[in-house]
Chain A
Amino acid sequence: MKKLVVIGNGMAGARVVEEILARDAQAFEIVMFGAEPYGNYNRILLSNILNQTQQPAEIFMNTLSWYQENNIRLHAGVKAVEIDRKNKKVAGIRLSKEDAPYGTKIVNTASAEIIEEDYDYVILATGSRPFVPPFAGADLPGVFVFRTIDDCDGIAAYAKNCRKAAVIGGGLLGLEAARGLMTHDVEVTVIEAGPQLMQMQLDSESGDILRRTMEGMGVRVLTGSLTAQITERDGKVGGLLFKDGSALETDMVVISAGIRPITEIAQVSHIDVNRGIVCDDQMRTSDPEIFAVGECVEHREKLYGLVEPIWEQARVLADVITEKNPDAAYEGSRTGTKLKVMGVELVSMGQTDPDQPDDEVLVYRNPNRGIYKKLLVRDERILGAILLGDAEFSDTLMQFFMNEKELPENRSEVLFASVEGTTLLAAADLPDGAQICNCNGVCKKTIVDCIENDGATSVAAVGAKTKAGKGCGSCRGLIAQLIESAVGEVQYDASEHYYVPGVPLEKSQLIREIRDRKIKSVSEVFAQLCGGREHVDSKVGLASLLKTVWPKEYEDERDARFINDRVHANIQKDGTFSVVPRIYGGVTSAEDLLRIANAAVKYNVKMVKFTGGQRIDLLGVKKEDLPGIWKDIGIPSGHAYTKAFRTCKSCVGTDFCRFGLGDSISLSQKIEIRYQGMECPHKVKMAVTGCPRNCAEAYVKDVGVVAIEGDRWELYIGGAAGSIIRKGDLMCTVDDEVAVIKYVDRFLQYYREHAKYLERTYGFVERIGVDVLKGILIEDSLGICAQLEERMQEAVEAYRDPWAEADVPAYINQFQGPQLVEVVREVNNNG
């Protein structure tokens, strides 16, 4: 068996090994050198590690056990330093903790352990390193690059003691780093030497729009600022000095000024190197037994830093080295990028500006909503495109671009939805080699083979076998089309991304379908989106969503509701129910208490209990007694059962308390009246407290309002004091009750429209990020606040007290208990 040594264990190195194993697992004895002490991980998701939305374990692509299972020997934490081509040996040095995996110098060469492997073939997948411009102070404590998991850990730990952070470099990675830093409660300034952000992907106009959007989210942006040096304060970073003489105070610096291929090992081994390691179309270097792949490669004078072209290189290399297809050729890639920068969608492909007089330029602008679309056309094909703020049709656009397909005469069809909603691009018409999944580089033929030969008939099954659709997920529609054309029908697996398990759509897609098709009932959702098949675990979530989308026109089907919401009471372990009347702001009266007490006696209530939400709970009521007890009490429902707004707790505020700063009772009652019974993805508890002593526990509510000195109110969101305890994040400080209601409206409605079903606000606020929410809900960076307020008002007006059903039941036998029945006749039962 021939022996293959792979130098580099990043995404490219591991990918090429996977491709080789897939073609012929027995072809080589494989040894890998990896300078980082881990298995291989998805570097694209590093900013999620920095902003702590993902754990390192979640971004590993191949864990250490994968290497064992495939008989690969991995030298983790060992950096290959030389290829002895005469004796066909690779030498590596074990790195110590002080060595940066991508560093140019090794700290302890004298004492380092040397590891040697002989070889028949070598693949160089050394990748690239962050470029650090040679300015003074770049080695001070508090200066970081952004490239590895360890970098993220270092940045996160250091940020804890910082107020201000600067990111040098306004490109893709720099903005990702800024996004990550925002979650660490530091003020972030992005410094770009060029005249605009993301110069590789955007033209100057869209660069400006992105800049304004980012500023709306609280990131400071400086363009045209050339850093001269990083200045010192107390032995660590203190600030930046710019070439024009201006200065910026900062406690830490993240340098993200681009990447450079790592080529030293090729150079010392006398392999041709230009900007990168020079390769031919078979991915061979100047030595026919040594190949290269990934960011370290220079192919036809181009370097690639995105995954799609690198996946393609890996496929060609694997075809050639396993001799499955020795003539396979990599001919360069047309690349496009699709990403989210701080929640802003961005797609860019090809050129950003025209350079010939006949190039067609189409631009659509909606700067108030942060939307910009630009299409460059040459010879009826896409020369370049930019979509900012709205990337809804980017898939189609990307396919037209990468496959150089002729555009429809009416260009707007590829930039906007066509009126009939017809599919512009049939996946079946694409060539076999067309890349469908751009995140994982899976081409059409691979997917079709998987469907036809391996029997994969769901998008998830195709994903499990080929990884297609497992990145950003935007190609899932195309995969479904391929399945449909091959086997006629797409099967769906429950997927965690779906809003409910039985409808294969994410929440935003589902809402769009519901709005476009004007679906107003749960059974219609199943009829129109699931081929008529009901799904028991999806009904409740769908009912809640439909009520949110159509507050007034929603067609209520009671069987889609949980028993609590069918009979407006909370079922107990013995099948009886609890009854909680509404007590606005926790303030009641002697008359109300008398009626409650009399009802409790009359209906033999087993326990009368004060709740944590300042109300009274009557426990042990039979279902058939519910209408009677409601009528006797004569108070509206307290909704202590629905996934909905529950209560607004308050303290005594200014009326009696000698510390009170604001009238918490009056405000909490207004809030409770406004939002009573409002369906939400999960329950929502609120409180208004009259001073920061917090007697009403407002800091740990989903929405908490705190009166402070100077007649002002603070609004906190995402607090919790259940199984999870979390202090809410300060969303804003406002001058009056009207403003409190305005921002609560916006937050609640945004939560209702964007949270997953059963996601509490604390999870939602952490997932979206409080700074992003501030941008959207206070600065109105997406231009949606007016609509949010309008839809909330509509929901408020649609509210009806469900206990009115005491007089007019909603359906037959709504409040009937078990019914005794008589035997008609006896028969012999033979089984």
Chain B
Amino acid sequence: MDRAYIINLGPLEDIAIGQGRCFIVKDTEVAVFRLRDGSVAAIENQCPHRKGPLAEGIIDQQFVVCPLHGHKFDLETGQGEGGECVRVFNTWIEHGNIYMQFSPYVFIDGKITAGTNNN
């Protein structure tokens, strides 16, 4: 069991359609994307390859591509095509604002995925 934090990332409209923005949450950079279907996805901002800012990447409904060297990650699972992966975070929308649950560890398929967090 672990502590987790609920964070208000502000209005959905503050992110341009189909693009991402970088938020700093408890010293961790999180890339938050507003998908074209109206949904939201949040993943760790730093590409594990060379720390490229994933929030500046191009997305579709499933993937983001790192702007520096083209590494591709699944927005839902964080899985990268080259085997590396990034952490993903739960998000939801309440009264037009994007909320996110941030925890030092995330659970994927019942396993703890530590990612590159500081804890």
Contact = CB atoms under 8 A, between A and B. Distances in A.
Interface string A471-491: 000000000000000000000
Nearest to B61: A534
B6 A539 contact: no
B15 interface: yes
A174 to B, nearest CB: 46
A531 interface: no
Contact of A818 (B19, B24, B64): B24
B30 to A, nearest CB: 9
A826 B1 contact: no
Contact of A813 (B5, B15, B58, B60): B15
B36 A559 contact: yes
Contacts of B2: 828-829
B17 A559 contact: yes
Interface string B72-115: 10000000000000000000000000010111000100100000
B68 A813 contact: no
A827 B63 contact: no
Contact of A829 (B4, B22, B110): B4
B22 to A, nearest CB: 4
Contacts, number: 120
A536 B59 contact: yes
A573 interface: yes
Interface string A810-831: 0111101111111111111111
Contact of A536 (B1, B9, B60): B60
A571 B54 CA distance: 12
A816 B61 contact: no
A823 B18 contact: no
Given A559-B36, A829-B4, A535 B60 contact: yes
Contacts of A819: 10, 21-24
B21 A537 contact: no
Contacts of B103: 829
A817 B22 contact: yes
B43 interface: no
B6 A824 contact: yes
A309 B17 CA distance: 55
A138 B29 CA distance: 77
A800 interface: no
Contacts of B45: 818
A567 to B, nearest CB: 9
A826 B4 contact: yes
Contacts of A826: 3-6
A523 interface: yes
B8 A558 contact: no
A692 B49 CA distance: 46
Contacts of A557: 17-18
Interface in A548-567: 557-563, 566
A828 B4 CA distance: 6
A72 interface: no
B57 A563 contact: yes
A63 to B, nearest CB: 30
Interface in B15-42: 15-19, 21-26, 29, 36
A533 B61 CA distance: 8
A772 B5 CA distance: 65
B39 to A, nearest CB: 13
Given A536-B60, A536-B65, A559-B59, A821 B8 contact: yes
Nearest to B22: A818
Contacts of A820: 23-24
Contacts of B6: 823-827
A505 interface: no
Which of A533, A813, A828, A829 gathers most chain B CB within 10 Å? A829
Interface residues of A, number: 39
B48 interface: no
Contacts of A536: 58-60, 62-65, 72
Nearest to B25: A821
Contacts of A722: none
B58 A823 contact: no
Given A571-B68, A821-B25, A829-B4, A562 B19 contact: no
A540 interface: yes
Contacts of A535: 60
A523 B36 contact: yes
Contacts of A533: 60-61
Contacts of A134: none
A814 B102 CA distance: 25
B119 to A, nearest CB: 12
Contacts of A825: 5-6
Contacts of A357: none
A575 interface: yes
A87 B95 CA distance: 93
A823 B23 CA distance: 12
Interface string A434-458: 0000000000000000000000000
Contacts of A537: 65
Contacts of B7: 821-824
Contact of A830 (B1, B25, B110): B1
A571 B55 CA distance: 13
A544 to B, nearest CB: 13
A534 B1 contact: no
Contacts of B5: 823-827
Interface in A782-824: 811-814, 816-824
Contact of A539 (B1, B4, B24, B60): B60
A816 B2 CA distance: 33
B107 A831 contact: yes
Given A560-B18, A573-B68, A829-B4, A823 B26 contact: yes
Contact of B60 (A534, A563, A811, A830): A534
A473 B61 CA distance: 31
Interface in A7-31: none
A361 to B, nearest CB: 53
Contacts of B68: 571, 573
Nearest to B11: A812
A828 B101 CA distance: 11
A537 B72 CA distance: 10
Interface string A759-772: 00000000000000
A513 to B, nearest CB: 20
A542 to B, nearest CB: 11
Contacts of A560: 18, 58
Contact of B21 (A523, A559, A561, A813): A813
Nearest to B97: A824
Q: What 10 A-B pairs come out closest when comparing CB atoms?
A: A559-B18, A829-B4, A534-B60, A831-B107, A818-B22, A536-B60, A811-B16, A563-B56, A823-B5, A829-B2
Given A563-B56, A826-B3, 16 more contacts: A533-B60, A558-B16, A558-B18, A561-B58, A571-B67, A811-B19, A817-B22, A819-B24, A821-B10, A821-B24, A822-B8, A824-B5, A828-B4, A829-B3, A829-B4, A829-B101
20 contacts: A534-B36, A534-B60, A534-B61, A535-B60, A536-B58, A558-B16, A559-B16, A559-B36, A562-B58, A563-B67, A811-B16, A813-B15, A821-B9, A822-B8, A825-B5, A827-B5, A828-B1, A828-B2, A829-B2, A829-B103
